[in-house]
Structure 1
């Protein structure tokens, strides 16, 4: 998805800067919400707040299957770790898991 490639390029630029924790959390939540909405609008799902992680998770497919993603963590990783946490690759893994879930009842958390 082109929009996620564009988001990934923007996050790549942020890798070049030292950003404080508040800014990292803010960017992670904004970009993570965008990833969630791309997923939800294309594959459905519902949001659940996970208190222990202090962030939402998107769960797709219940009750037939269950694929969960923690997008805020992935965005943080992308900013801190660079290309190894590529957003389009992450999202492709989510799509593959959803397709597998539809066919087999697969349950997974994509991190």
Structure 2
């Protein structure tokens, strides 16, 4: 039994009303896709720039920088969408499964099981970036993941 082994079903309030999902992986993939569509339509990000790649995280960081500079709170739909996008980039690169957690990290992406257990807690970091600015830079945060995966560390990245 690992640190993130508690089981909980994706709650109805987290699921988009228009679509039903069966797994946490489907939920986060859907949220990430909805964020991309929103960003292209409403924020003016060119189609294809948000391609679930590590370089695209700079765009995410720029969006969060705009929120921070405006002094506004990060709206819940953007928090969920950007967080899911960030975790889907990591899941695409390193694999992993989503597990429910608590507080500002209601979901954690657990990478490396069963060989090791690395918890990627992106949701709190997204909130921190929108609130604190560059000290919580998203690309820098993500870069910390690579060495931890290579070392097969049992750790939590927050």
Q: TM-score range by the shorter chain?
A: 0.7 to 0.9
Equivalence for 1:99: 150
Equivalence for 1:30: 81
- 5+ residue gaps, structure 1: none
Equivalent pairs counted in the alignment come to 104
Identify the structure with bigger relative contact order (alpha carbons < 8 Å, sequence gap 6+). 1
Q: Deviations over 1:26-51 (max 9, x none)?
A: 3221110000100001100000011x
Greater C-alpha Rg: 2
Equivalence for 2:32: none
**TM-score, normalised on structure 2?**
0.62
Hey, which bits of structure 1, 4+ residues long, moved more than 3 A?
none
The residue correspondences of 1:55-66 to structure 2 (distance < 5 A) are: 55-66=106-117
**TM-score, normalised on structure 1?**
0.87
The CA RMSD over aligned residues, in Å, is 1.4
Contact 1:32/1:72 (<8 A) preserved:
yes
Contact 1:60/1:68 (<8 A) preserved:
yes
The answer to which structure has the higher strand fraction is: 1
Equivalent in 55, 66, 83 of residue 2 of structure 1: 55
- 5+ residue gaps, structure 2: 1-53
